[in-house]
Amino acid sequence: MKKDHQAEVLSVLPDVFPENWAHSYGQDNYGIWQGVFIDNIEVRFRWIPPGEFMMGSPEDEPERYDDEGPLHRVAFKKGFWLGETACTQALWQSVTGKNPSEFKDQGIEYPVESVSWDDANNFIDRLNSLVPGLDVRLPSEAEWEYACRAGTDTPFWFGHELTPDKANYNGGRPYNDGPKGEYREKTVPVKFFEQNPWGLYQMHGNVWEWCRDRWHDNYDGAPDDGRAWEDGDSDAIVCRGGSWISYGGLLRSASRSFRHLGLGDDFGGLRLARGPQVRSGLGTGRRPGKGARDERKGQRGRS
C-alpha cells in the first residue's frame, strides 16, 4: 500500500475510540485496533475505514466464476470493525466450553472449524452476553471483500500471484498455471502469514469464513452500501476466503462459495465483525432445507 493511502486511511477515524467495552487498544502502521479479553484470551478488532470499492471480479480475471459479477461499486458511508484473525479454537472453547474442531490436537491458536452457520450465531450470542456493548456479528459479504482487498484491486491483496508462503491452500493446484508448492493438508495458526494493509491476518486461505448473506447466483440486485443481502428463502449462506483444502483460484479476493446453514466442515470457520450494522434478518436455530448436501461434493460448495 502506498504511504499516502496509508495516511488517508489513518485519518478516517471512528466517532468513539476506544469504546467502553475495550480492555486494550492502540495504533500501529496498519491503523487503530481495540480488543477485549475473554479468560485471558485477547480478541482484537481492526478498524476498517469508510470508502468505496469495486466488488466482484473483472471478466478477464483468471479462474473467475460468473457468480462474481457483475462488477459493481459498493460505498461504505461508515467504517466498521473486523476481527484481526479468524476465531480461534481458544476463544470458541472459552465461550462454549467445547471444541468441535477436527484439528484441535494441533493447538488452540488454530482457527476453530467444523462449525455451522447456526453454531456461529449461537456462539456470537453467548459472547455478546459475556461482554455488554460488544455487539459482534458476522460480516456482510461486501464488508468481507472490502476488508480483504484493503484498497487493492488485484486477485489477492498481495498481487497477481499466489504461492504457499503467502497463504494456506492446496499448493498442488496452483492459481493461473503458477508453480506448484506445498500442500499442508491441515490448518495453520491464525497468525501464520503476513497481515494485509489493514492489519488482517489470513483473509486468503486456511478456512472459509461465514458471512451473513444468503447465497445469490450473481450480484444483480445486490445492495450497493455494504449491507448484507438477506432477501430470499434459501438455506445456503455465503462463505469467503478459501481454505487449506482449496485450489489456488478459490482464494482470490472475489471468490465466493456457500454452505448450508446447519452444516459444518473441517475447512469452514468464522471471523467476527462489529460496527454500524445491527445483526437482523436471518435468525439462529434454523435447519437446512430439503436437498441440503455436503458442499465438499457440490458444484457451488467450492472447497
pLDDT digits (tens, 9 = 90+) for 83-137: 999 999 999 999 999 999 999 999 899 999 999 999 999 999 999 999 999 999 9
Written as one string, the DSSP assignment of 22-55 is: -SEEEEETTEEEEEEEETTEEEEEEEE--EEEEE
Determine the pLDDT at residue 11. Answer: 52
Retrieve residue 278's grid coordinates.
445491527
Determine the pLDDT at residue 303. Answer: 73
How far out from the chain centre does Cα 243 lie?
11
Q: What is the mean pLDDT of the chain?
A: 90
Q: How far apart are the first and last CA of the chain?
A: 30
Which range among 9-23, 204-218, 222-236 shows the weakest confidence by mean pLDDT?
Answer: 9-23
Mean pLDDT within 176-188: 97
Determine the pLDDT at residue 299. Answer: 33
Residues paired with residue 82 on neighbouring β-strands, in sequence order? 46, 273
Residues 6+ apart with CB under 8 A from 55: 71, 72, 73, 74, 142, 145, 146, 219, 222, 254
User: For residue 281, what pLDDT band results from cuts at 50, 70 and 90?
Assistant: very low
Please report, rounded to a whole number, the percentage of residues in the chain having pLDDT higher than 70: 88
Q: CB–CB of 38/94 below 8 Å?
A: yes
Higher pLDDT, 252 or 289: 252
pLDDT tens digits for range 30-78: 999 999 999 999 999 999 999 999 999 999 999 999 999 999 999 999 9
Determine the pLDDT at residue 120. Answer: 98
Please report, rounded to a whole number, the percentage of residues in the chain having pLDDT higher than 90: 85
User: For residue 288, what pLDDT band results from cuts at 50, 70 and 90?
Assistant: very low
Determine the pLDDT at residue 144. Answer: 98
Q: Is the pTM of this model over 0.75?
A: yes
pLDDT at 287 over 90: no
Determine the pLDDT at residue 286. Answer: 29
pLDDT at 232 over 90: no
Higher pLDDT, 191 or 298: 191
Determine the pLDDT at residue 233. Answer: 81
Determine the pLDDT at residue 234. Answer: 85
* Secondary structure (3-state) at 4: helix
What are the distances in angstroms from CA 124 to CA 107, 143, 174? 22, 18, 35
